[in-house]
Amino acid sequence: MDVEGGRRVFHRLGPSSSSDNGSNNNNKQQKVCFHWRQGKCTRHPCAFLHGELPTAGNGKRAHQGFGEDNHRGGGGGLRRSGNYNFNNNSTWGRAQAQQPVSSSRTFVKKIEKLCNYWVQGSCKFGDTCKYLHQWSTGDCFSLLAPLEGHQQVVTGIALPSGSDKLYTGSQDETVRIWDCQSGQVAWNVQTSVELTLNGPVGQVYSLVVGSDLLFAGTQDGTILAWRFNAATNCFEPAASLKGHTLAVVTLVVGGNRMYSGSMDQSIKVWSLETLQCIQTLSGHTDVVMSVLCWDQFLLSASLDKTVKVWAAAETGNLEVTYTHTEEHGLLTLCGMHDSEAKPVLLCSCNDNSIRAYDLPSFSERGKIFGKQEVRSIQIGPGGLFFTGDGSGQVRVWKWSAEPTVTS
C-alpha cells in the first residue's frame, strides 16, 4: 500500500534472487528500516534491513528514496507525494549517490523552503531533513544577529545617516531604539506620547518627505501634505492631493517628482512644484505595494506577482520596459549597489522570503527567509542591512562585499 501525504511507507518487494541464497538477509525485505535509521527500532528480529543497500553499478541507488513512489503504474514514472509548489530553482529532495557501504552519511538536496519544525526547535531529522535549516541561501550575505523585542509586525525601520542608533516601529505600539554597537535596546518609546498632525482623520499607510513637505498616504486615497513652520515649531497643513480611489500604501520621492502606489492598482506621478498629478500608470492588476526610484528608472512591485521597470519614453511619459514575474505576491522593494557598482534588488514576497537579484538580468543571488512576511528592509553602512517581519523579529545582515546605498 502506498499512502501519500508525507507518511513513511514500505513497499514489499519480491523474493531475493537465487544469487542471494545462503545470505543472512534472505528473510529480509529489501528496504532499509526507517526506525533503524533513527536509532529507534525495537524489533528483534526486524523484517527490514538494518544497513544501507549497496549502490548500483551506474552510481545510482539500488532502491528508491523516501518520498518516491515505487509503483510502476501510470506510465512507470516516479510521482512526488504530497502537495508541494515547485519551480526551476527548487528540487525535490532525493538522497544523492551514497558513500561506500561502510559510511552511514547521507547527503540530501534541499527544497528551498524553511523547515517549520526547525524554526520551532523540534525537527527530528537534522541534516537529513529535506527542508532548510538556515535563514538564507546563497553566499552573498550572512545573518549577524536577531534583535528580539517587538511582539507584532515590524512596520518600519530607520537608520539616520551618521547615527549609531537603529529605530524600529511596530504594530505592538512601540518604537524601539537599538544600539548598533551592542545590538541591545537603547530606548523603548511607548506610543502613549504622540505628536499629532492637524488635518483630516484617517489611517495613514505611508509617509515620505520631499521639497520641505511631509506627505502621508491615507486609507481613502488622499495624500495629505504638511509644511513645518519654524516660528510656531509645528507642522501646518499645506495641501491635499486627490486622485486615487483607494488607500495609498506606498510613496517615494525622486528628483522633482513623487510617486504613489495604491490599492486601486495604479501609480500616480505628482509634480513637487505644482502638487498636481501629471501621469497615471496602469500596468498592474492588483495592489501596488512598493515603488522605488533608481537613477532614471522607476520600479514597482505588486500583489499581482510582478515587478515592473518603468522608463521615460521620447514623450517624457513613463512606460514599462520590462516585467519580472514571481511565484508569489510582492510586498516591498529595496535597492543598492554592490562593491563593484553592480545594482542589486531585494524583493520581499508574501511567502515569507526575500529574493536578491542582480540587475538588469534579474539573476538570483540568494534568498532570505523570515518567520512571517518581511514588511520592512533598511540599508545600513558598511554592508549592513536590516529586515523586519510579521512576527516582530528584526534581523541584522551583512553583505559579503560592501555595497553602497542607491540614491
Phi, psi of 86 (to 5 degrees): -110, 150
Q: How far is CA 12 from CA 47, 132, 137, 349, in A?
A: 10, 31, 38, 43
Reduce the DSSP state of residue 182 to 3 states and report it: coil
Look over the chain and give the mean of its residue pLDDT values, rounded to a whole number.
Answer: 74
Q: How far is CA 358 from the centre of its chain?
A: 16
CA distance 381 to 401: 12
| Structure confidence at residue 80 as a pLDDT band (50, 70, 90) | very low
pLDDT digits (tens, 9 = 90+) for 45-59: 777 777 766 544 444
| Better pLDDT: 15 or 262 | 262
148-159 pLDDT tens trace: 888 888 888 888
384 CB neighbour count, 10 Å cutoff? 19
Can you tell me the distance from the alpha carbon of 389 to that of 252, in angstroms, rounded to the nearest whole number?
Answer: 21
Backbone angles phi, psi at 35, to 5 degrees: -65, -35
pLDDT digits (tens, 9 = 90+) for 88-127: 333 212 333 334 444 444 556 677 787 887 888 888 888 8
Chain mean position to CA 333:
11
257-266 pLDDT per residue, tens? 999 999 999 9
Q: What is the pLDDT of residue 10?
A: 30
CA gap 301, 346 in Å, rounded? 11
Q: Give yes or no for a contact between 93 and 106, defined as CB atoms under 8 angstroms apart.
A: no
pLDDT for residue 72: 33
* Secondary structure E strands in 148-190: 154-158, 165-170, 174-179, 185-190
pLDDT confidence of residue 70: 33
Q: How confident is the model at residue 183 (pLDDT cuts 50, 70, 90)?
A: low
Q: H or E stretch including 278? A: strand 277-281
